Chains A and B, each alone.
Chain A
Amino acid sequence: MTSSLALYTAIPLTCLAVSLAAGLFGRVLGTVWTHRIVILGVAVAFALSACFALPQVMSGHDLNATVYLWGRAANLPLTVGFLIDPLTALMMVVVTFVSLMVHIYTIGYMRGDPGYQRFFSYISLFTFAMLMLVMANNFLQLFFGWEAVGLVSYLLIGFWYTRESAIAASLKAFLVNRLGDFGFVLGIAAIYTVFHSLDYATVFAHVDAARHARLAVTDGTSWHMLTVICILLFIGAMGKSAQMPLHVWLPDSMEGPTPISALIHAATMVTAGVFMVARMSPLFEQSPVARSVVLVVGATTAFFMALLGMVQTDIKRVIAYSTLSQLGYMTAALGASAYAAAIFHLVTHAFFKALLFLAAGSVIIAMHHEQDLRKMGGLRRYMPVTFAATWVGALALAGIPPFAGFFSKDAIIDAVAHSTLPGADYAFAAVLAGVFVTAFYTFRMLFMAFYGEPRMDANVRHHLKESPWVVTLPLVLLAIPSVVAGMLLMRPLLFGHFFQGALYVRPSDNPLPRMALHYHGVLAFIGAAFISPPLYLALGGIATAWYLYIRRPELPALMARRLHVFYAVLRAGYGFDAVYLSGFAAGARAAGRFLWRVGDVQLIDGAIVNGTARLVGRIAALGRRLQSGYIYHYAFAIILGLFVLMTFFLHRG
């Protein structure tokens, strides 16, 4: 093992080690030592990612190496190994940084919770799993990380396991993700079928040779194999990155404690699908059909989930729908072959969305775990740091220059505009309209929580105060990249050579070089925004929110009554949950009950088995009458007799 491989291995293993320490010995360590050890471990992982992995890849020292042979089935070696290239290194830095912030924040948020140590154990385990996911150099390990983050997500959504709503949400999250994994596993199996390998490097090297492979579906019909592979893999991404129609688990996942909503259900895990598709860019570039699907699904999610954000009253659910919508933006970018733009937005979004969630958590602490926006109001006077942090996050999310989200979102809209795939026009309209809606729901939340008259009861109001420093420090540290990350990263990530070798785009499809023609530095880019629609849509959204929630706060209720059909559809989330519950879940149970009662009990048992059994029973009864004593005596006698016979013959022979 080379020394750099050893160092890379140490990054996830440190997180695993501290997780095990907290999980197994948390009671012995006590709360303070538990969080000290865990935070130290994650800090080491962050330091190694930022100060070792990132400089390594930036100086061109990529690494693709095996850690150990997991198993060899037939001639297929299955390994655990790392691919450290710019894409991986960037993800590692983002994951460990946000994770570190969330760990520190947790000290304040989870104070006094009986599951304090368990919580630290879970989030550091999550960090380990997420690192294994992004560092994988093969599909097996990718799937390992994929499922492991899903497991920790499940455990954390159901963290407060006595709450019926929390454990229902955790099961839902796991099962909906399993729907996605169903596709993902088939995608991996298809890759094995075509390439006889699960190694990224081997697979990508042979993509050209497999361009014309077909999959026989029925006699006479066959599908383009690479398209099938990409769509199957994308189904996995739809589960993990909560794209419609597999998005239903993410809003419910807000039942988990807020720190994990920030870390897992906003900044990192849910972006795993986006990361995975970017990682598979050599495959997706071979299939315009698959990319068209990706583009349309992403754009649909981006717009329609944003609409749902407008009618939420729970502060966390507003941000959750916003996350869905933003993931849709990233996915749309993937479909437009702007993988770098998707990752760019993934990075900026990780910062500002974690910031927004943690700020919301800070509000929730102050509000004594009240999450209803209608019971907030006027908080700016009591929580200045949280208030400022929310402003930064909101401006970044709404895409106002020069905040981070502006650059990455504009890049995505530009890229989608350049796409010529089927559905690109629709996608462009959707992501563009989404900008207005995004700005509206973001500032609606901000105004409802922090402005106007306080609407909480007097007791809560009396105790309102800013959160302790362990909570506000991460807010400040996340606010910084939420402001500057866009300016600093745009040129290297989108128009530089950072991703060279890590992301593959067919030159004919690549929107970024065409966008680069019009890119003349950060200031010029901001200037150009003033003559293009997205900025005005965003400002319009903010203005509308201001008018409705500050200027004329009586209007929203009136509008909800007037537009009650529209409003009801949005409140019901377009009815997806109802369809899943009464369609799939109830349908599966009904099918199971039918197969059991009719198939097993009536047909097989009733008609065939018991009929015979009755006959045998009668004979046995007859036999029993001839004998006396216990049947087990006889049975043992039979075995004994067997042994005696055997020995007898053995000696004779």
Chain B
Amino acid sequence: MDVYRHIALSIAIWLPIAFGLVILVGGRRYPGLVRPLAAIGAGLTFLVTVPLWQLFHAGSFAMQFQEHIPWIPAFHINYALGVDGISLPLVLLTSVVGVIVVMAAGPAVKERVPEYFASFLIMEGLMIGVFSALDAMLFYVFWEAMLIPMFLIIGIWGGPNRVYATIKFFLYTFLGSVLMLVALLYLYFRAGETFNIVSFYHLPLAATPQILIFLAFLIAFAVKIPMWPVHTWLPDAHVEAPTGGSVVLAAIMLKMGAYGFVRFSLPIVPLASHELAGLMITLSLIAVVYIGLVALVQDDMKKLIAYSSIAHMGFVTLGIFLFSRIAMDGALVQMISHGFVSAALFLCVGVMYDRLHSRAIHDYGGVVNRMPIFAAFMMLFAMANSGLPGTSGFVGEFLVILGAFKADFWYAVLAATTLISGAAYTLWMYKRVIFGPITKPAVASLTDVTGRELSFLAVLGAAVLVLGLWPAPLLHVMTASVHHLLWRPGVRLAGANP
């Protein structure tokens, strides 16, 4: 087990990448092996990450499973990895979603099959890298590299308007990343030529550089989340992306922006974080209210879920910038929950799309008559998306609302509108798609879920329920890290409640 502690994260990163490369090289010659290999790669990666959870010392805020190898010594760039209670759940989320995505790639994926699986596996490794990098340059490399497979996934296997969507996606994210690089380089020199993220935490930075660094980070992270008003790339990207791409985008990639705030902005520039918290809270609340209304009028199911994601991520950023432990706990739980729920909803749309080749709500109606099992699962996920207690969707929203009330009555009032809007757009869509008599001939020809579809829906359904009925283990894992984040000696984020 001791050896495991020192190589686990590396294996979790490089194992899927290695599988991806093998598939890329040999997939054309042995097409029959592509799917089994991909499944084994994703499955093994998941198995590698499971013991991380068991071996993790939840009582400590320290980085665990650390690895440290000089990478480019000339610039003091290290291959440094490690996870704390904040990143560990995200690593596990990534490895679970990795398995789901491979399972979800059904017969609908026909073109360039090896490249498809290779892209996902390589992207999975890179995303785990983002969540476990402790060296800022390594983080940056993973952060940028991860975009390339996603770019390809949308660009090659995407819908008719994929070129516009990919360019938009790239424009947004590259613009943000460049400023982040500048900020990282500034920190590198200020910290005495090191990219060690934890050493950035102890830099005594004056107010002005703090604000500038915060803004540089903000642009990178806000685009990723995405926060209003830099969110418009997301609906387009989702609409054009194949189902698997949407799943990864919603479940994992959106979390990276929020993770960035928690890993970089808050601990490195606490003064600026506090100074600009009002702005962040305002943007978050706009996301909740404005986007909640916009989601209501979407006819494209993927667009609707994409907008719903933006609103839900608004809760995450709201929770982060309230600087109270309960809200931060809520934000982090919401990240994990949204990973499962949004993945499940995009997969549900995928299940229907594979059959009817339409995402338009008005092309459906009465699906339950032909697909009762599917309808039951989609009901569960729709309820989770509406934040029903007993599902994971409730936990984060509830804790954030508790924290928001403590900060300001009106924050809580605006945040709590999600109870109404979330239920309205989700269940109204559900009603029009699933319930009612069959009026479209195409719907009459639908068949219920296959065994493969049932299996991934069941996995996600179980995750949503377990997290909703017993979030204690997840909350326990993050406790020490959240406390340390808000109450680090000397840089206490003002207004934080113990």
- Chain A residues engaging chain B, CB cutoff 8 angstroms: 68-76, 140, 143-144, 147-148, 151, 158, 161-162, 164, 167-168, 170-171, 174-175, 178-179, 181-182, 185-186, 188-190, 192-193, 215-217, 588-589, 591-593, 595-596, 599-600, 604-605, 609, 612-613, 616-617, 620, 631-632, 635-636, 638-639, 642-643, 646, 649-650, 653
Contacts and interface: CB of A to CB of B under 8 A. Distances in A.
B409 A71 contact: no
Contacts of A178: 419-420, 423-424
- The A contact surface, by secondary structure, is helix
Residue of A179, A612, A639 with highest tally of chain B CB at under 10 A: A639
A179 B427 contact: no
Residue of A181, A593, A649 with highest tally of chain B CB at under 10 A: A649
Contact of B326 (A73, A186, A217): A73
Interface string B13-31: 0000100000010000000
Interface in B359-418: 366, 368-369, 383, 388-390, 394-395, 398-399, 401-402, 404-406, 409-410, 412-413, 416-417
Contacts of B402: 73, 76, 188-189, 192-193
Nearest to B330: A73
30 contacts: A71-B474, A74-B329, A143-B389, A147-B390, A158-B431, A162-B369, A162-B435, A162-B436, A164-B436, A167-B431, A167-B435, A174-B427, A175-B420, A175-B424, A186-B416, A188-B402, A189-B401, A189-B412, A193-B405, A193-B406, A592-B297, A593-B297, A595-B293, A596-B297, A599-B290, A620-B167, A635-B148, A636-B24, A642-B141, A653-B72
A600 B232 contact: yes
Contacts of A167: 431, 435-436
B171 A613 contact: yes
Contacts of B325: 73-75
Given A186-B412, A650-B79, A638 B148 contact: yes
A217 B390 contact: no
Contacts of A593: 297
Contacts of B404: 189
A182 B475 contact: no
A589 B70 CA distance: 56
B256 to A, nearest CB: 18
- The B contact surface, by secondary structure, is helix
Nearest to A631: B155
B497 A74 contact: yes
Contacts of B469: 70
Contacts of A650: 69, 71, 79
B229 interface: yes
A612 B293 CA distance: 27
B6 to A, nearest CB: 16
Contacts of A192: 402, 405-406
Nearest to B407: A193
Nearest to A187: B405
Contacts of A71: 395, 470-472, 474-475
Contact of B420 (A75, A179, A188): A179
Interface residues of B, number: 83
B479 interface: yes
A170 B382 CA distance: 15
Interface string B282-325: 00000000100111111000000000000000000000000011
Nearest to A144: B389
Given A171-B427, A175-B427, A632 B156 contact: yes
A588 B424 contact: yes
A73 B475 contact: yes
Contacts of A638: 145, 148
B115 interface: yes
Contact of A162 (B148, B330, B437, B475): B437
Given A69-B472, A182-B420, A189-B412, 9 more contacts: A72-B479, A76-B326, A143-B398, A189-B402, A190-B405, A216-B409, A595-B290, A613-B168, A649-B72
Contacts of B296: 588-589, 592
Contacts of A620: 167
Contacts of A635: 148, 151-152
Given A185-B419, A632-B152, A74 B326 contact: yes
Contacts of B410: 217
Given A164-B436, A178-B420, A599-B290, A616 B329 contact: no
Contacts of A162: 366, 369, 435-437
Contact of B168 (A73, A158, A609): A609
Contacts of A181: 419
Given A595-B290, A595-B293, A646 B419 contact: no
A215 B409 contact: yes
B281 to A, nearest CB: 16
Contacts of B421: 588
B173 to A, nearest CB: 13
A609 B168 CA distance: 8
B424 to A, nearest CB: 6
A609 B423 contact: no
B437 A70 contact: no
A179 to B, nearest CB: 6
A609 B420 contact: no
Nearest to A154: B427
Interface in B147-177: 148-149, 151-152, 155-156, 164, 167-168, 171-172
Contact of A161 (B152, B368, B399, B474): B368
B471 A182 contact: no
A632 B155 contact: yes
B92 to A, nearest CB: 17
B4 interface: no
B389 A600 contact: no
A491 B438 CA distance: 57
B416 A613 contact: no
Contact of B472 (A72, A613, A649): A72
B405 A171 contact: no
B330 A174 contact: no
A69 B371 CA distance: 37
Contacts of A161: 368, 434-436
Contacts of A75: 325, 498
B190 interface: no
**Interchain residue pairs A-B with the least CB separation, the first 6:** A189-B405, A74-B325, A592-B293, A592-B297, A167-B435, A74-B326
B148 A653 contact: no
B309 to A, nearest CB: 14
Contacts of A591: 293
Contacts of B427: 171, 174-175
A572 B428 CA distance: 25
Given A182-B419, A588-B296, A646-B71, A73 B401 contact: no
Nearest to B366: A162
A123 B303 CA distance: 35
Nearest to B404: A189
A151 B383 contact: yes
Given A593-B297, A638-B148, A72 B475 contact: yes
A653 B156 contact: no
A591 B435 CA distance: 26
Interface in B322-375: 324-326, 329-330, 366, 368-369
Contacts of B498: 74-75
Contacts of A646: 71, 79
A642 B144 CA distance: 11
B252 interface: no
B441 interface: no
A636 B115 CA distance: 10
B107 interface: no
Contacts of A215: 409
A613 B166 CA distance: 11
B295 A185 contact: no
B431 A171 contact: yes
A604 B228 CA distance: 10
B290 to A, nearest CB: 5
Nearest to B296: A592
B440 interface: no
